[in-house]
Amino acid sequence: YADALSVSEAELSWLRRRGASANDILIVQSNIANLYAELGRNEHALQLKRDVYCGRLRHNSEEHPDTLMAANNYATILVCQGHCGLAWSLLRKTIPIARRVLGESCDVT
């Protein structure tokens, strides 16, 4: 995972230099957060997942499927790191939105 992290961080730097879209940058940041988690760099992973969620809120609506997925990913890492109260607070807000937008039959809801 360390090699993949190095490559992903270089990709992120390159995307920023060339003025890539917020969406492209957020995708790579989310992937980097996953790699941090795999490498046991949990605080970095948590911070980056939060940043991705906040970025999705800024660039999309709270009803956008990408924002809802980012909220789910952020809540998951919060639970994994023992921040269940924060995760519950986030999910209490986003699950009704996800149900309305994605429908009851969606795996996320």
pLDDT over 60 at 82, yes or no: yes
pLDDT of residue 100: 92
Which amino acid is present at 93? K
pLDDT tier for residue 71 given thresholds of 50, 70 and 90: very high
Q: What is the pLDDT of residues 90-107, one digit of tens each?
A: 999 999 999 999 887 766
pLDDT of residue 109: 56
Mean pLDDT along residues 48-72 = 96
Which amino acid is present at 15? L
Give the tokens for residue 77: 């890492």
71: left (phi over 0), alpha (psi -120 to 50) or beta: alpha
Contact residues for 82 (Cβ-Cβ < 8 A; gap 6+): none
pTM attached to this predicted model: 0.91
Q: Distance of CA 71 to CAs 14, 82, 86, 87, 108, Å? A: 26, 16, 12, 9, 11
pLDDT of residue 104: 78
Which amino acid is present at 23? N
Residue 24: which of 56, 63, 65 has the closest Cα?
A: 56
Contact residues for 19 (Cβ-Cβ < 8 A; gap 6+): none
